[in-house]
Amino acid sequence: MAETSAPTTAGPGTTTDGTTTTDAATTVDPSVTEAPEPRATSNRSTTPGSDTFRDYIASSWAEREDTLPPAREQASFAARRRARVSEAHPGKRLIVPSGAPKQRSNDTDYPYRAHSAFSYLTGWGSDSEPGAFLVFEPAGETGHEVTLYFRERAGRDSDEFYANPEIGEFWIGARPSLAQVSSDLGIPARGISDFDAVVFDDDTLVVREAAPELPAGAHEPADADFERFLSEQRLVKDAYELEQMRLAVAATARGFDDVIADFRRSSAAPRGERLVEGVFNTRARLDGNTVGYDTIAASGPHACILHWTRNDGPVLPGDLILIDAGVELDSYYTADITRTIPVDGRFTDVQRRVYEAVREAADAAFAIVKPGIRFREIHQTAMAVIARRTAEWGLLPVSAEEAMEPENQQHRRYMVHGTSHHLGIDVHDCAKARRELYLDGVLEEGMVFTIEPGLYFQPDDLTVPAEMRGIGVRIEDDIVVTADGAENLSAGIPRTADEVEEWYARLNA
């Protein structure tokens, strides 16, 4: 900790009495660490406020058994990640917030999810405490002392225990002690009030998108560089991450099985897409934390809408349904898989032709993956197939070779999205990485990404034959780069048209 700090401030450069200050260092606004006031309850609360009630509800509780858990599996991996962060930022104070809950409506919040950088560096996933901070305090010439600050549970002699529905254990269940979390994660832990003394100066870097309320200053451009570093650090997955990806894919495969086995019910409902979404999301809650992103259940012409998440249409026999879904585990690692399936179990000739063209593009892209190629080559390879097939079908005004020229790209009318994105603790992982390390980056062993070409023939697109209009197909798999090639983590989920038909028949026998 720094030896001195400026007065507590209400914001950057402003003291609590409203006067301005030119001090280079500030401390955090205490409102960041004060217990939140319950929202929208004063006009309907019936909680007694008498001293008699307070004394009674605080009495006669059994002693807590604060057994210290062993360090969780990912703790050692997170420690190595922190060591790399420390080594790359000598002399800098680093603050990685978990983030606050996000309001959904009035006094209700969206389900809480900690910031990915925080989870990556702590190993804390779905059990993260909101409003926590991981702080790297410079120690010595190159190292850091790392401390986790969070709001410890209140004692049962506190109003918070029973009267605060946002953090009180009577309302949300048991919460951990400092000692339990420290033992669990292998990180020294302190109470959230101690975070008030952390200094914010030009040597302090913050993952600002996770806590925009923290003091800001001239170092904000450096904050962006820090966030970029943390994003790029995740480009190559460690052994723990790869195992989590395999587990997420396996859970997602079970979710697809559930959906196909329920197609008869989905087909009978006016908004059958909602049933498809709900069945998959049930699996995600059973086998993981939740879904890694909003499930796309796009039947018929909705499959031509790339991010169709309204999911309020029918699931009609004779149509294809495009399902883009992934289970997020409690560690936050998520799969991202798409399969396009005939609602009645059989492809028409036209549907099969489009489907197999997309699979050909996916297979061609996968075949080139190995360490040393550039990420962008995956997309270029898939697009060569898409251009060739759409040219053969007479959809392009030029040849496939001409369409592939950068100044042309007519084939992209039928596939405007990219073929691949990195995948991991975020569905679009490493999103802040520099272009030269992402799209123009060289593949390394341990990188995980999707391959997901598609063809989307809009129902009102006059450049395609009538029999193709309204057909949308995407096939998406999760890929890991190996020492001498690649592995398709989701290869066990049927991919070819024949396999998909057999899959449907087996689950609907």
pLDDT in tens, 99-111: 999 999 988 899 9
Residue 482 to residues 36, 237, 372, 433, 492: CA-CA distances in angstroms?
A: 48, 11, 11, 21, 18
Region for 318 from its dihedrals, namely left if φ exceeds 0, alpha if ψ lies in -120 to 50, beta otherwise: left
| Portion of the chain with pLDDT greater than 70, in percent | 94
Q: Which of 10-24, 141-155, 293-307 has the highest mean pLDDT?
A: 293-307
- pLDDT surpassing 70 at residue 9: no
pLDDT at site 25: 72
pLDDT at site 24: 57
Residue 191's H or E segment, with its range, is strand 189-191
pLDDT at site 221: 82
Q: What interhelical angle do 349-367 and 375-392 show, nearest 10?
A: 150
How far apart CA 313 and CA 305 sit, in angstroms, is: 13
- pLDDT surpassing 60 at residue 2: no
pLDDT at site 155: 85
Question: In this predicted structure, which of 11-15, 128-132, 217-221, 491-495 has the lowest mean pLDDT?
Answer: 11-15
| Portion of the chain with pLDDT greater than 90, in percent | 80
Q: Which of 132, 138, 139 is nearest to 193 (CA)?
A: 132
pLDDT in tens, 250-276: 999 999 999 999 999 999 999 999 999
pTM exceeds cut of 0.85: yes
Which DSSP string do the residues of 239-265 spell out, in sequence order?
HHHHHHHHHHHHHHHHHHHHHHHTHHH
Q: Are residues 249 and 478 in contact, defined by beta-carbon separation less than 8 angstroms?
A: yes
Average confidence (pLDDT) over 275-287: 98
Torsions phi, psi of 205, nearest 5?
-115, 140
HEC per residue, 372-428: CCEHHHHHHHHHHHHHHHHHHCCCCCCCHHHHCCCCCCHHHHHCCCCCCCECCCCCC
Helices and strands, number each (H, E), in the chain: 14, 21
- pLDDT surpassing 80 at residue 42: no
The average confidence (pLDDT) of the chain is 92
pLDDT in tens, 383-424: 999 999 999 999 999 999 999 999 999 999 999 999 999 999
Q: Where is pLDDT greater, at 384 or 28?
A: 384
Order of all β-strands in the sheet with 477-481: 448-451, 477-481, 486-488
Q: Are residues 211 and 100 in contact, defined by beta-carbon separation less than 8 angstroms?
A: yes
pLDDT in tens, 312-321: 999 999 999 9
Q: Which of 339, 372, 370 is nearest to 487 (CA)?
A: 370
CATH numbers and ranges of domains, the chain:
69-233 (3.40.350.10), 239-507 (3.90.230.10)
Local confidence band at 218 (pLDDT 50, 70, 90 cut-offs):
low
How far apart CA 292 and CA 307 sit, in angstroms, is: 14
Supply 312's token pair. Answer: 């309020």
pLDDT in tens, 176-187: 999 999 999 999
| Residues 6 or more apart in contact with residue 179 via CB below 8 angstroms | 66, 68, 189
- pLDDT surpassing 90 at residue 153: no
Residue 317 to residues 26, 35, 342: CA-CA distances in angstroms?
A: 64, 54, 8
How far apart CA 175 and CA 153 sit, in angstroms, is: 6
Q: Where is pLDDT greater, at 23 or 336?
A: 336
Which DSSP string do the residues of 151-178 spell out, in sequence order?
-PPPPTTSHHHHH-TTT-HHHH-----H
Average confidence (pLDDT) over 135-151: 94
pLDDT at site 126: 97
pLDDT at site 66: 81
